[in-house]
Amino acid sequence: MDTLGSLLHGFAVALTPGNLLYVLLGSLIGTVIGVLPGLGPTASIALLLPATIGMDMVSALIFLAGIYYGAMYGGSTTSILVNIPGEAASVVTCLDGYQMARQGRAGPALGMSAFGSFIGGTIGVLAVMLISPFLAEAALKFGPPEMFALLFFAFTCIGGLTGKSRARGLLMACVGLLLGSVGTDDIHGVDRFVFGTLYLRDGIALVPLAMGLFGMGEILYNVERRESTGAVVGTPKDLLPTRKDWRDSRWPILRGSLVGFGIGILPGGMPAVASLLSYAVEKRVAKEPDRLGRGAIEGVAGPETANNAATAGGFVPLLTLGIPTNSVLALMLAALMLHGVTPGPLLLFKWPDVFWGVIASMYIGNVMLLVLNLPMIGLFVQLLKVPYSILSPLIIMFVLLGAYALNNSVTDVLATILFGLVGYLMKRYGLEPAPLVLAFVLGPMLENNLSKALIMARGAGLSFFFGRPISGTLLTMALVVLAFPLVKRCLAWRGKAAATA
């Protein structure tokens, strides 16, 4: 079937009344989650994962994807109106968005952010649709050495893209790998790090880990350190950007789409990184860079477009290679496996309904969000007025409820609380949970492929990996990523030495 035919089939799947309802529900819940500070998309998807068990797999994925891109839309509202980002990808939107709101231009800021998100999301989905079939076809030729090399490359990118310190990021990733190795080993059947408990023999479950680190950890951190929230800058009336706003934003939107999609398909490519990079690009190309940070619409249009394009881009490696590039997509992977779908290059051919249904639902979701969000901004502003002191116990309740509902087990609740404590400590000491969760998911795949590749190599060692063109290229790329900071340090040191001479 050609791409257009497949897409039409996808629309036929996504436009059934049931799936339309899930697109609507997912995008609405996602927007609310994005608007409310303290509950990011990762924790929310972890929370709602058990609720998707009863759904069929296409609906489940459509629903979860809706939450993800809905959260990206909603996150900007709080950034602009209250100067508090609803989720990490909207941090940079605070810089110019809030300044615009203070200058009485909250409406155009919110409007442009919604339009930018829509355009970025749509261009992203279009690119996903065009690239994925080729990538899946190529990935069919991957054996264990190639998969190992690809996963290893993904792993080396995690540390560099997710935090301020590369060593800290990689160390957190190692902790994630270690947690991922707990339980009965698949190949040898040996129990590892189970300490005689039955619960750990199946391995640590992803949902309590993600909900604890992201949801509970965030709440506990806020309990200890309550900051007064900014004042809501009224309910904006006129949301449509002016002709000049459009003129100023058209190139930032286009650049944001490209930057966002490019970052999104990279391992470790969080939407937050995409929006940050897009802001940096805008600052660099601006004729008057000083305007950015003082209420320039380019500072809202670029990053908001980029984070939605990155959200869409992340679906390329997930759906074609079975590799999640960030913690939200790691949970999507868990959702796929929960429904018996093996993510990887075969997904496109064995479960075309899942692939094309999700892609089509993303088009529909983007339109729905644009149509829904603009008239509903007043309602979201009201939502922001609910005090955090009431919201936070309610979020705790939902996190505990989600943990219990997974297996009807109190042990999962306990595990969520313990990981919550770990998440709180990590946040307090400036450690990123995202590399840990991502490595936790990638770890077992990495081990499995490494073991198979080593057995295939029959003692040939590194020459076996480097002798194969794809694995050799990927491993070389991984080594370049690893060596890059050292080279940068050497160059800086030489530069300094030359300056003092």
Partner 1 sequence: MRADRILGFGALLLALPVGLTSWGYGVGSPKSPGAGFWPFLIAASMAGLGAALALRPDRALHPRADGGSRWRSLGIALATLGIYVLVLEPLGYLLATFLLLVVQLKWVEARSWRTTVLTAGIAAAVSFAIFRVFLKVSLPVGILPLPRSW
Q: Residue 294 CA to chain centroid, in angstroms? A: 28
| Positions 226 through 265 that interact with partner 1 (CB under 8 A) | 226
Which of 386, 357, 365, 364 shows the shortest CA–CA distance to 72?
Answer: 365
CB of 492 to partner 1, least distance (A): 13
Determine if 177 is a binding residue for partner 1 (CB under 8 A). Answer: yes
Burial of 32 (0-12, 13-18, 19+ CB in 10 A): buried
| Angle value at C-alpha 171, between 169 and 177, nearest 5 degrees | 105
Check residue 275 and give left, alpha or beta (phi > 0: left; psi -120 to 50: alpha): alpha
Range in contact with partner 1 (rule: CB under 8 A) among 74-82, 109-117, 269-277, 447-455: 447-455
265: its two tokens:
């398909």
- Report the alpha-carbon distance of residue 149 to residue 470 in Å, rounded: 8
CB of 339 to partner 1, least distance (A): 17
Report DSSP letters for 338-400, one per residue.
HTT---STTHHHH-HHHHHHHHHHHHHHHHHHHHHHHHHHHHHHHHHTS-HHHHHHHHHHHHH
Determine if 197 is a binding residue for partner 1 (CB under 8 A). Answer: no
Determine if 51 is a binding residue for partner 1 (CB under 8 A). Answer: yes
Determine if 457 is a binding residue for partner 1 (CB under 8 A). Answer: yes
Determine if 486 is a binding residue for partner 1 (CB under 8 A). Answer: no
Which of 399, 75, 66, 392 shows the shortest CA–CA distance to 210?
Answer: 399
Residue of 18, 461, 485, 495 that binds partner 1 (CB under 8 A): 461
For partner 1, the closer of residues 164 and 243 by Cβ is 164
Contact pattern for partner 1 over residues 382 through 421, marking x by CB under 8 A: -------xx-xxx-xxx-xx--xx--x-x--xx--x--xx
DSSP 89: G
| Angle value at C-alpha 434, between 204 and 82, nearest 5 degrees | 125
**Contact (CB, 8 A) for 154 and 268:** yes
Counted residue by residue, the chain has a size of 501
Determine if 370 is a binding residue for partner 1 (CB under 8 A). Answer: no
| Positions 130 through 169 that interact with partner 1 (CB under 8 A) | 164-165, 167-168
Name the amino acid, one letter, at 475.
L
CB of 120 to partner 1, least distance (A): 32
For partner 1, the closer of residues 235 and 409 by Cβ is 409
Residue of 25, 454, 470, 482 that binds partner 1 (CB under 8 A): 454
Termini Cα distance of the chain: 66
Determine if 101 is a binding residue for partner 1 (CB under 8 A). Answer: no
Report DSSP letters for 129-159, one per residue.
HHHHHHHHHHHTT--HHHHHHHHHHHHHHHH
Residue of 14, 431, 434, 474 that binds partner 1 (CB under 8 A): 431
Determine if 492 is a binding residue for partner 1 (CB under 8 A). Answer: no
Determine if 199 is a binding residue for partner 1 (CB under 8 A). Answer: no
Determine if 18 is a binding residue for partner 1 (CB under 8 A). Answer: no
Residue labelled with tokens 């009344």 = 17
**Contact (CB, 8 A) for 474 and 149:** yes
Contact pattern for partner 1 over residues 56 through 95, marking x by CB under 8 A: ----------------------------------------
CB of 175 to partner 1, least distance (A): 8
Range in contact with partner 1 (rule: CB under 8 A) among 48-56, 98-106, 125-133, 371-379: 48-56
**Cα-only R_g, the chain:** 22
Residue of 20, 25, 131, 174 that binds partner 1 (CB under 8 A): 174
CA atoms within 13 A on the CB side of 395: 29
For partner 1, the closer of residues 285 and 397 by Cβ is 397
Q: Is residue 183 helix, strand or coil?
A: strand
Determine if 450 is a binding residue for partner 1 (CB under 8 A). Answer: yes
443: its two tokens:
């770890």
CB of 389 to partner 1, least distance (A): 4
Residues that bind partner 1 (CB under 8 A): 50-51, 54, 164-165, 167-168, 170-171, 174-175, 177-178, 181, 185, 187-188, 190, 192-193, 220, 223-226, 389-390, 392-394, 396-398, 400-401, 404-405, 408, 410, 413-414, 417, 420-421, 428-431, 447, 450-451, 454-455, 457-459, 461
